[in-house]
Amino acid sequence: MTPAPIAVALDAPDLETAARWASLVTPHVSTVKVGLELYLRYGPDVIATIRGASGVRVFLDLKLHDIPNTVAGAARAVARLRPAILTVHAAGGPAMIRAAVEAVPQTQIAAVTVLTSLSAADLATIGIQGPPEDAVRRMAAQAVAAGAPALVCSPQEVAAVRAEVGPDITLITPGVRPAGSDAQDQARVATPERAIADGADLLVIGRPITASPDPGATAAAIAAALRRVGAPGRGPGAAGSGRR
């Protein structure tokens, strides 16, 4: 059975737990995501441990944000780990995004638009006026023009971003919460089924899976629900399918 287009966020307190979660969910999902906390605590070796014998695709979510030369160097430094996806902040600007894309052509660079934890009020406090959707669309268009093959946005903006950038850009959506789940620190959320219907290619789901009593069973249940609505079973390296 084709794994579901889900990246399970392995935000674990230790490497042993992260590796256990990865082994439990890998039969059901296409991707696992390693974030800043785990990477900074254990270093590059965490990738090999998480990938293990399964060879599951690894999404390295470092959200690089610096001057273009520094981001290009950082991207090259982690390229040897063979991540399927590496994130940079779209707010770093077109030159920074272009530098990352050119530095690691074998890795899919995903430009993060507006963090899913930020509300319209939060954005206003940092000088970004208007609805989050407007900021997301502007950042998305600029990132794609700079060569980004993938974007990260909340599921509440995914339909608008798909309309903005067309079918060939991979859209990754964190802030995905199954019906009945606690939103926790996410301000802009939607269900997995809604996110897929609106045009997402890869859903990032963390605590609803990893904090459950049986992460493997929970991942399997969400994957089955997505199959019922016809979600594509593509890996994160695939571009949009033009199905929208």
Q: Which residues are catalytic?
A: 63
Backbone torsions φ then ψ of 5, nearest 5 degrees: -75, 65
Q: Are the C-beta atoms of 141 and 218 separated by less than 8 Å? A: no
Reported for 136-139, long-range contacts at CB under 8 A and 24+ positions apart, including other chains, are 136/160, 136/161, 137/161, 137/164, 139/90, 139/91, 139/111, 139/113, 139/114
Q: How far apart are CA 73 and CA 76, in angstroms?
A: 5
State the Cα–Cα distance between residues 26 and 4, nearest whole angstrom: 10
How far, in Å, CA of 196 to CA of 155, rounded?
9
